[in-house]
Amino acid sequence: MPELPEVETIRRGLKTKILNKTIKSIKIIKPNLVRNDIFDFQKKLKNKKIINIDRVGKLLILDIEDQKHHLTIHLKMTGQLIYVEGDKIIAGGHNLPLVEKLPNKYSYIILKFEDNSQLFFNDMRQFGFWQILNTQDKEDLKKKYGPEPGSKNYNFRSFKKALVGRKSVLKSTLLNQQIIAGIGNIYVDEICFRAKVMPTRRINTLTEQELKKLYQASQYIIKKAIANKGTTFSDYRNAEGHKGNYIKYLKVFGRQKQQCFTCKNNIKKIKLGGRGTHFCPECQK
């Protein structure tokens, strides 16, 4: 599923497409994906505009024009937000043209705008959700997220402060959205590789040097992934239905049993904290 770079790519795409367009209809095929009362949810969106789109970690926040409510959308593992103008065919794919028809069997929420364009929320595994919050609840929710790569308040000081004093496993810690926001299972492995640190290390055993490397790697990887519109392994698509380009830069994720680009030894895959974890046993210490 989308991590910070993928969600940021979707945010930027959606902003250019749906901002200030009046929502004419809200079709909810799977009511369980909406965390509000359905009737209330529809009422708060119908004939309203989205006036801004924000993001915290992997959560999208769409500001509704009443200035009092915010539509939060989480894509979890397989959620997609795809905007289509006019007809219902999209063409995408970073290399090969890809034709898909929308809605498809996983299109569970569909917004229709005044100009007949549509926004499809597709979610095969149905882990994602849409939830309208008032401004207070939205602010409270944002406070629960840790500093995130690429943001103003993310620097070596805030990174170190978030980690220091902990004894937990490095990978699990970096995946904890309340400690550092936005990093998921692909980029955490890539960050550890670039920092030359084993994901199995405990926080309290990391040297100043290693912490610095991890911080720098997190900035580098996340920014580069955003610049490349994210990574598509299977389900991820941006707001235009296109795949991300970062897959060609992956050094360890999904490369188990293949040669490390640096030392030519084999990349290993283990299970750590319940997640598939990729690393180079030679390059990472």
Partner DNA sequence: AAGATTGTTGCTTA
Partner DNA sequence: TTAAGCAACAATCT
- Site map (CB under 7 A) of DNA, residues 230-259, x = contact: -xxxxxx-----------------------
Using the rule CB under 7 A, give the single segment among 16-24, 53-61, 85-93, 211-219 that binds DNA: 53-61
Q: Which of 13, 57, 146, 241 binds DNA (CB under 7 A)?
A: 57
Residue 202 annotated to the active site: no
Residue 199 annotated to the active site: no
Question: Judged by CB under 7 A, does residue 9 bind DNA?
Answer: no
Question: Judged by CB under 7 A, does residue 203 bind DNA?
Answer: yes
DSSP the chain: ---HHHHHHHHHHHHHHHTTPBEEEEEES-GGGB-S-HHHHHHHHTT-BEEEEEEETTEEEEEETTSSEEEEEE-TTTEEEEEE-SSSEEEE-SSS-EEEESS-TTEEEEEEETTS-EEEEEETT---EEEEEEHHHHHHHHHTS---TTSTT-SHHHHHHHHTT--SBHHHHHH-TTTS-S--HHHHHHHHHHHT--TT-BGGG--HHHHHHHHHHHHHHHHHHHHTT---SSS---TTSPPPSGGGG-SSTT-TTSBPTTT-SBPEEEEETTEEEEE-TTT--
Closest separation in Å from C-beta 123 to DNA: 9
Residue 275 annotated to the active site: yes
Residue 2 annotated to the active site: yes
Q: Which of 36, 185, 219, 228 binds DNA (CB under 7 A)?
A: 185
Chain residues binding DNA by CB under 7 A are 1-3, 6, 32, 57-59, 74, 76-77, 105, 124-127, 166-169, 172, 175, 177, 184-186, 202-203, 231-236, 271, 273-276
Active site residues: 2-3, 58, 275
